[in-house]
Structure 1
Amino acid sequence: MLKKRRSLLFFLFLIFASCNAQNEAPKELKVKEIITDKNVTLSQVSELLEEQTELHSINIINWDTFSYTPKADFRIAHANNQIWLKYYVTEENILAQVDTINGGVAGDSCVEFFFDPKADGNYYNFEFSCIGMPHLAYGPGRRARQFVDEEKIKEHIEITSSLGNEPFAERTGGHSWEMTIIIPASILNADEGIQLKGLKTRANFYKCGDRTSERHYLSWNAVGTETPDFHRPEYFGSLVFE
């Protein structure tokens, strides 16, 4: 009887926590500008982010069915009309099966950055597996996506992961990894000539793993849907580029 009562209390706690998160006001994040040389390397970007930016967490459980919570944090800044990102992840299992650009990397151990530059509901979904395999498309919703050309992605986006870039089957036993990414504004196909400095935009940051042994769907800003759905710009938070 006591065991059943505890299980019920835990279940009610999960529901309360989920509802509470979804009712929170949208988050706002100020994206710092870092002044530096134009030919900065990924290694230098990693160091500058460590030195000059704050750590933010991707830790909201929006759906109590998927309660597993890996530790996921990120740093963000902009420089030379580029977005700089660095992710830090600790999780029990890691998976990196997808070996093609614009493949289904969300099923692998994955981090994501959904970015709506004009705050008008048209957004880019930047998705990266734990080995840096990218997926990038643009549009107003899940079913209206236009993929960015693979060659353009390879040419413009720079990525490095502490796990390397070779695919692998699921590994268990606990793992930590980091990833640094440079996203130039030139990759934003539908927003040619856009300048990041001074821009007020909307975005969300995610951690997921749809095909991992412990499926999970975490967000930075709360998502108020009944089932997992990251393609919902109405639940994005605010980004202000200083």
Structure 2
Amino acid sequence: MLAANDFALEEQPWPQYKTDAEVRFSIVHNNESIFILYRVKEKHVRHVTTAINGAVWEDSCVEFFIAFDGEGYYNCEFNCIGTALIGYGTGRNNRELLPADVVRMVHVDTTMRKENDAYVWELLLQIPVQVFVKHTVTSLSNVTAKVNFYKCGDLLPEPHFMCWNKINSATPDFHRPDFFAAAVFEEVTSMASI
């Protein structure tokens, strides 16, 4: 269960991709939407992908995966300029990308600045429940799900793969629902943490 609303991505399960990037995120909901604020500090940034459902994982990218049942999960991926990819499926292969008009329902705000020898960027997401088109989610109150949060940059000068809940696999692979952690979206009458 997510007991607070501020977390660090501290797990780096693949030592060959070690990074000194700093990543924190906060998550809240208001019954109708999930709000996630990512705060990233890293030496290099890349923001090439501008097409919806493009290869955002090759850029400076943060990701949120969520499963509402044991059938499948959504992978919500965003590069540092807010370009989004959202898919659904049961594993890494045979994923179905959601239609562009559904992906566009996610509201994204981004900021970036240079701070000494690093880039500091923030990404604020508002993900309405209507994005989860494979499920009938009308309210998040008391909904139980399984989640994980990630940071990657496959084509950065120093590729890296960070996660919130540790993954045990020989090679980098975020598509591992067996390593998602349980989360309960607490009942709220106004904005509150999960």
TM-score, normalisation: structure 1: 0.73
1:170-223 Cα shifts (integer Å, max 9, x gaps): xx9411011111000011010024431101110100000000001000000000
Find the aligned partners of 1:96 and 1:173 in 2 and give their Cα distance: 18
Residue 70 of structure 2 corresponds to residue 126 of structure 1: no
Residue 65 of structure 2 corresponds to residue 117 of structure 1: no
- In structure 2, the partner of 1:103 is 54
The match for 2:159 among 203, 207, 215 is: 215
Find the aligned partners of 2:141 and 2:124 in 1 and give their Cα distance: 21
- In structure 1, the partner of 2:132 is 188
- In structure 1, the partner of 2:191 is none
Find the aligned partners of 1:220 and 1:200 in 2 and give their Cα distance: 18
Residue 180 of structure 2 corresponds to residue 200 of structure 1: no
Residue 107 of structure 2 corresponds to residue 158 of structure 1: yes
Alpha-carbon contact 2:13-2:167 (below 8 Å) kept: yes
Give the SS at the match of 1:189.
Answer: coil
Find the aligned partners of 1:231 and 1:193 in 2 and give their Cα distance: 22
Asked which structure has the greater RCO (Cα within 8 Å, sep 6+), the reply is: 2
Alpha-carbon contact 1:121-1:234 (below 8 Å) kept: no
Residue 24 of structure 2 corresponds to residue 29 of structure 1: no
Q: Give 1:81-92 correspondences, 5 Å limit.
A: 81-92=32-43
Alpha-carbon contact 1:105-1:127 (below 8 Å) kept: yes
Overall identity of the aligned pairs, in %:
33
Higher Rg of the two aligned structures: 1
Alpha-carbon contact 1:69-1:216 (below 8 Å) kept: no
Alpha-carbon contact 1:121-1:233 (below 8 Å) kept: no
TM-score, normalisation: structure 2: 0.90
Find the aligned partners of 2:174 and 2:64 in 1 and give their Cα distance: 10
- Structure 1 counterpart of 2:83, one-letter code: M
Higher strand share: 2
Find the aligned partners of 2:66 and 2:20 in 1 and give their Cα distance: 23
Give the SS at the match of 1:175.
Answer: strand
Residue 94 of structure 2 corresponds to residue 144 of structure 1: yes
Alpha-carbon contact 2:12-2:163 (below 8 Å) kept: yes
Aligned length: 184
Query: CA, structure 1 residues 160+68, in 2 after alignment: closer, same or farther (shift >3 Å)?
Result: same
RMSD, matched Cα: 1.6
